[in-house]
């Protein structure tokens, strides 16, 4: 009986070690609906940066465009991917293009 109990315990311990936990991985700028709701055409770059944070990508040759990327992997699977393009005319936000990438 005691050997059976020890064997069962060892099998349980070994089976716990076999499962692999994959952590959630967020990359880029988190883009939440609440943030998008605060964006408005006509905002200054500083106001946009306050709401959205600094963009993930800026182009030295096209400084009128800010790109925000976000992806979430959970348990090794892609759960969400978003891309937001903000276009400026001078210092003023002139266009908002949100793409939900699935």
Does domain 23-101 sit in CATH 3.30.1450?
yes
User: Tens digit of pLDDT for each residue in 82-96?
Assistant: 888 999 999 999 999
CA distance 77 to 54: 27
Mean pLDDT of the chain: 80
Overall pTM > 0.75: no
CA 18: distance to chain centroid? Answer: 29
Segment 16-25 shows an average pLDDT of: 65
What pLDDT does 29 receive?
Answer: 72
User: Tens digit of pLDDT for each residue in 30-47?
Assistant: 888 899 999 999 999 999
Do the Cβ atoms of 68 and 56 come closer than 8 Å?
yes
Q: For residue 59, is pLDDT > 70?
A: yes
């Amino acid at each position: 009986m005691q050997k059976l109990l020890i064997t069962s315990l060892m099998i349980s311990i070994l089976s716990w070690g076999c499962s692999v936990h994959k952590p959630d991985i967020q990359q880029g700028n988190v883009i939440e609906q609440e943030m998008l709701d605060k964006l408005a055409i006509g905002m200054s770059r500083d106001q946009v940066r306050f709401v959205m944070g600094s963009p993930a990508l800026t182009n030295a040759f096209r400084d009128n465009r800010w790109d925000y990327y976000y992806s979430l992997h959970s348990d090794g699977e892609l759960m969400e991917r978003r891309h937001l393009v903000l276009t400026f005319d001078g210092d003023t936000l002139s266009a908002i293009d949100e793409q939900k990438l699935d």
